[in-house]
């Protein structure tokens, strides 16, 4: 039998009680620390977080700081509140025990002391403390994994992976989304002539700026592919205003691009920024193979956004009819006619967004 | 003898709690014999000055430690004093303190006898 061994703090103002408990605790294989009142005990607990004290044996009648106040302070302290406290009490003082259990004490140890009872009480409280420590370690690991995941995945998807609904949503579902596809005109020519370092520098700036806008508007970044960026809204987190968020992001991206373009132009590169945006049903979920899965959106809405983007000239943000209808009240736009898009048998009416209406904030 | 000053079961439990270490038990008895007369002095002066809280606290400690060594009659007297002090009802309490002092002498003698026994082994 492997008894869990721990560090036990004995808090009692009566020397004989401390001596007996310290001896008994040591005889049971634990390490014993002692304090003659609550004030000294709290000093020890705060000063000695590692290796941590596992269990406190607490007398109630003490000068300076009595057991009730000590217990109250332990339970009020975020770092100490999970520490099991066993109250020491004579059998004729069970009222006090009830009060302490209500205040958060884990258990009580009757006086006069009994070795077997002490062993059982310590063993129970230590097991609880070990579980609590394990739980804390697991939570830390999950937190670390989540923040690490968030560096690779969009924050919404990282959150989804560790949420209770995660498995169902990852498994695949249908939903109306707004898809936004953007890329750079003239990028291929630029990539052919630019030095690789220069190309990577430029893409890094571009991705950093655009990525920030995606996060600000609550978009789910599906992927960066060179200069192409696919973002969708309303999934995995539902967003009642997903169309408006998307168009605000597109307008903000275009403005941001214009600022970046100034710097690139000085280096002799002429680039243009185009956006396609569409609203419609998509199937969303985990797509890929064991070893590499992506959270992806599949459906004509994504293809539509991509085709509209291909049609857009530099500076244009082209929307399909459903997307335009949803954002009409906050944007100034113009119809650009019915476009023949590859893969779509019927011509698609499209609209260009010139900007947000006056008085509509860019947030 | 049914009315022995030291309760054998309680004393045996204490010895077991300190893992059967008779030498350590003798030290504990030494501490008890050194500390308890002070408690009785405190109780007497607390009665004179009317400090019921001091009286209650001293009686509480004596109750606890004497019960630890199985000095049940002494523990019983100390509990009566503790309860009376908590209610600030001190009628007849000076007599109870004197009875406790007398009982302490009997218990102390019995415990000393045990210490001598432990020391001789």
Residue A1 forms part of a structural domain: no
Of B14, B19, B60, nearest to A112 by CB-CB distance is: B14
Nearest chain A Cα distance for residue B65, angstroms:
7
pLDDT on residue A1:
44
Answer whether A93 touches B (CB < 8 Å): no
Angle between helices A67-76 and A94-102 (to 10 degrees): 10
**Residue B120 predicted with pLDDT over 50:** no
Domain count, chain A: 2
CATH code, domain with A100: 3.40.50.2300
Give the number of C-alpha atoms closer than 13 A to the C-alpha of residue A143, restricted to the C-beta side: 6
When computed from its CA atoms, the radius of gyration of chain B, rounded to whole angstroms, is: 15
**Predicted confidence (pLDDT) per residue in A316-356, tens digit:** 999 999 999 999 999 999 999 999 888 888 999 999 999 99
What distance in Å separates the CA atoms of residue A359 and residue A216, rounded to the nearest whole number?
A: 20
Nearest CA in chain B to A17: B65
Q: Are residues A120 and A185 in the same domain?
A: no
- The residue with greater pLDDT, B27 or A170, is B27
Domain range holding A269?
A: 156-356
Instruction: Return the pLDDT at A4.
Output: 52
Average pLDDT over residues A195-216: 88
Chain B, residues 32-51, CB within 8 A of chain A, namely 32, 35
| pLDDT per residue as tens digits for the range A108-139 | 999 889 999 999 999 999 999 999 889 888 98
Instruction: Confirm or reject contact between B27 and chain A (CB < 8 A).
Output: yes
Instruction: Tell me: pLDDT of B63 over 60.
Output: yes
SS3 state at A318: strand
Domain finish residue from A149, A181, A209: A149
List, in order of start, the domains of chain B with CATH numbers.
8-115 (1.20.120.160)
Segment A69-97 mean pLDDT: 90
A51 has pLDDT over 70 = no
On whether both A110 and A160 belong to a single domain, the answer is: no
Alpha helices in A162-266 (DSSP H): 166-171, 187-193, 196-216, 242-266
- State the ipTM, two decimals: 0.90
How far apart (Å, rounded) are the C-alpha atoms in residues A234 and A242?
A: 5
Note whether A112 and A184 are same-domain residues: no
Same domain, A187 and A59: no
Q: Under an 8 A CB cutoff, do B65 and A24 touch?
A: no
Same domain, A276 and A162: yes
B35 neighbourhood in chain A, CB within 8 Å: 15-16
Residues A162 and A281 in one domain: yes
The predicted model gives A229-256 an average pLDDT of 93
| Per-residue pLDDT, B27 | 93
Taking CA–CA distances from A29, the nearest residue in chain B reads B19
Mean pLDDT of B69-74: 95
Residues A128 and A162 in one domain: no
pLDDT number for residue B121 = 42
C-alpha–C-alpha distance, residues A13 and A180, integer Å: 71
Contact at CB, A61 and B57, closer than 8 angstroms: yes
Query: Please, are residues A276 and A309 in contact by the beta-carbon 8 Å criterion?
Result: yes
CB contacts of A118 in chain B (<8 Å) are 17
**Does residue A54 form part of some domain?**
yes
Give the model's pLDDT for residue A121.
94
B82 contacts in A (CB within 8 Å)?
A: none
Phi-psi region of B105 (alpha: psi -120 to 50; beta: other; left: phi over 0): alpha
pLDDT band at A173 (very low <50, low <70, confident <90, very high): confident
The DSSP element (H or E) to which A327 belongs, if any, is helix A321-327
The reply to whether A164 and A125 lie within a common domain is no
| Interchain contact, A115 vs B19, CB within 8 Å | yes
Q: Sign of the C-alpha dihedral, residues B73, B77, B82, B83?
A: positive
Across chain A, where does the E strand assignment appear? 7-11, 31-35, 55-59, 85-90, 107-111, 173-185, 220-225, 228-233, 272-289, 292-298, 317-320, 331-339, 348-356
Spatial distance between the Cα atoms of A126 and A7, rounded to a whole number of angstroms: 9
Domain CATH number, residue A187 = 3.30.70.1230
Kindly state the percentage of chain A with pLDDT values over 70.
96
* CA dist., res. A112 & res. B12, Å (int): 11
Exposure letters A236-254 (e unless 16+ CB within 10 A, then b): beebeebbbbbbbbbbbbb
| Smallest Cα distance from A108 to chain B, Å | 16
The angle subtended at Cα A316 by Cα A314 and Cα A317, nearest 5°, is 135
CA distances from B90 to A140, A254, B48, B57, B84 (A): 58, 89, 11, 15, 6
CB-based contact A218:A233 (threshold 8 Å)? yes
- Residue A340 resides in a domain: yes
Rounded to a whole number, what is the distance in Å from the CA of B61 to chain A's nearest CA? 7
Q: Is A23 on the interface with B (CB under 8 A)?
A: yes
Please check whether residues A316 and A343 belong to one and the same domain: yes
Residues of B in contact with A17 (CB under 8 A): 64-65, 68
Q: Which residue has the higher pLDDT, B102 or A51?
A: B102
């Amino acid at each position: 039998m492997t008894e869990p061994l721990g560090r036990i703090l004995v808090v009692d103002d009566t020397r004989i009680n401390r001596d007996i408990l310290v001896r008994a605790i040591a005889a049971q294989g634990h390490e014993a620390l002692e304090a003659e009142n609550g004030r000294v005990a709290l000093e020890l607990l705060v000063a000695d977080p590692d290796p941590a004290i596992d269990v406190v044996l607490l007398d109630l009648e003490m000068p300076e700081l009595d057991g009730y106040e000590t217990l109250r302070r332990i339970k009020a302290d975020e770092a100490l509140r999970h520490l099991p406290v066993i109250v020491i009490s004579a059998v004729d003082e069970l009222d006090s025990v009830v009060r302490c259990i209500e205040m958060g004490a884990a258990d009580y140890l009757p006086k006069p002391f009994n070795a077997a009872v002490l062993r059982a009480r310590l063993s129970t409280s230590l097991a609880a403390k070990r579980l609590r420590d394990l739980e804390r370690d697991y939570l830390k690991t999950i937190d670390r994994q989540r923040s690490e995941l968030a560096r690779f995945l969009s924050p919404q998807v990282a959150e989804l992976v560790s949420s209770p609904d995660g498995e169902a949503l990852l498994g695949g579902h249908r939903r109306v989304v707004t898809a936004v596809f953007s890329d750079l005109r003239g990028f291929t020519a630029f990539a052919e002539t630019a030095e690789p370092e220069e190309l990577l520098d430029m893409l890094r700036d571009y991705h950093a700026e655009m990525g920030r806008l995606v996060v600000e508007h609550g978009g789910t970044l599906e992927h960066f592919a060179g200069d192409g960026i696919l973002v969708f809204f309303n999934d995995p987190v539902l967003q009642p205003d997903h169309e408006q968020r998307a168009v605000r992001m597109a307008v903000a991206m275009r403005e941001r691009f214009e600022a970046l373009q100034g710097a690139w132009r000085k280096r002799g590169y002429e680039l243009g920024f185009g956006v396609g945006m569409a609203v419609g049903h998509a199937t969303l979920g985990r797509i890929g193979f064991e070893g590499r899965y992506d959270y992806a959106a599949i459906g004509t809405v994504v293809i539509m956004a991509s085709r509209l983007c291909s049609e857009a000239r530099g500076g244009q943000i082209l929307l399909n009819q459903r997307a335009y209808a949803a954002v009409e009240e906050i944007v100034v736009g113009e119809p650009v006619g019915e476009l023949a898009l590859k893969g779509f048998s019927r011509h698609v009416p499209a609209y260009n967004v010139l900007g947000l209406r006056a008085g509509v904030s860019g947030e | 003898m049914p009315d022995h000053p030291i309760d054998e079961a309680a004393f045996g439990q204490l010895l077991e709690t300190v893992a059967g270490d008779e030498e350590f038990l003798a030290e504990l008895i030494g501490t008890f014999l050194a500390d308890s007369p002070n408690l009785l002095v405190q109780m007497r002066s607390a009665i004179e000055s009317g400090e019921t809280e001091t009286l209650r606290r001293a009686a509480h400690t004596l109750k606890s430690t004497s019960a630890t060594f199985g000095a049940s009659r002494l523990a019983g007297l100390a509990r009566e004093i503790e309860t009376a002090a908590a209610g600030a009802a001190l009628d007849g309490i000076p007599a109870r303190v004197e009875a406790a002092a007398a009982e302490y002498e009997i218990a102390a003698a019995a415990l000393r006898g045990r210490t001598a026994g432990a020391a001789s082994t």
